[in-house]
Amino acid sequence: MTLLHNKVAIVTGGASGIGRATALLFAQEGARVAVADMNEAAGLAVVAQIEQTGGQAFFQRTDVRQDLACSELVDAAVDRYGRLDIAFNNAGVSGTVGLTQNIALAEWRKVLDINLTGVFNCMVHQLRAMKARGGSIINTASIMGLQGTPGGAAYSASKHGVIGLTRSAALEYGKYGIRINALCPGFVATPMVVGPDSHFDDQATQALVKTTALRRFGEPEEQAQMVLWLASDKSSYATGGHFVVDAGVTA
């Protein structure tokens, strides 16, 4: 039997990168998946790929900064599939790179609103939906949530916040059978890092590679395997943790 047989899952930021890889893997392992993102075309393409292989999924355009949008996402999953078992809160942005004194307040707010408040908005409604029967929530943090990041104060602050939120909520909701953990990826070959919207040039990306013990960027599918483990009953005693998948950068 597949690891997520008959489970219902939400994946935010599901149109690309780690979210896309996880949505596809969840479906492969038997879950019915709500793919949430702002990019409708890419999100629908993920749903089509799932359906082509016999899986079940739907797309919901979701701005995680908006509480109502997060409520509607959870309601849509429950209305369509009857319950919610798994949530991967993965939507995020990197923000601009620069000294703290030069960060515009609007940029600071954008990064915190998406990366941290967005996770909170989703969790509020996911927790309410899961209280009756339990579930697993995985929040995307980062190794930058474990250490300082010169030039990335807003991003690092937001990811530190995700870990704090994850730990606190895990202590509150364990009695309901809800497990809550954080994923801390290292440098992964996603559009945020190596795509046209990346803030890193070739020299910078090569420097990042040299910080890894494996001397390469990770692949989204490698992060998805950790998310799958945390979503499944294989990790039934894991909650309140942050799980580092970074090729040894923080070792």
- Per the DSSP assignment, residues forming a β-bridge with 180 are 137
Helix (H, G, I), strand (E, B) or coil at 111: helix
| Exposed e or buried b per residue across 136-154, where buried means at least 16 C-beta atoms within 10 angstroms of its C-beta | bbbbbbbbbbbeebeebbb
Q: Phi and psi at residue 94, in whole multiples of 5°?
A: -90, -30
Of 85, 128, 129, 118, the residue nearest 13 (C-alpha) = 118
Tell me how far apart the alpha carbons of residues 116 and 132 are, in angstroms, rounded to a whole number.
26
Tell me how far apart the alpha carbons of residues 140 and 159 are, in angstroms, rounded to a whole number.
8
- Positions marked active-site: 155
How many angstroms separate the Cα of 48 from the Cα of each of 31, 52, 193?
15, 6, 26
Helix (H, G, I), strand (E, B) or coil at 139: strand
Of 22, 243, 236, 30, the residue nearest 134 (C-alpha) = 236
Residues near 207 by Cβ (< 8 Å), separated by ≥ 6?
Answer: none
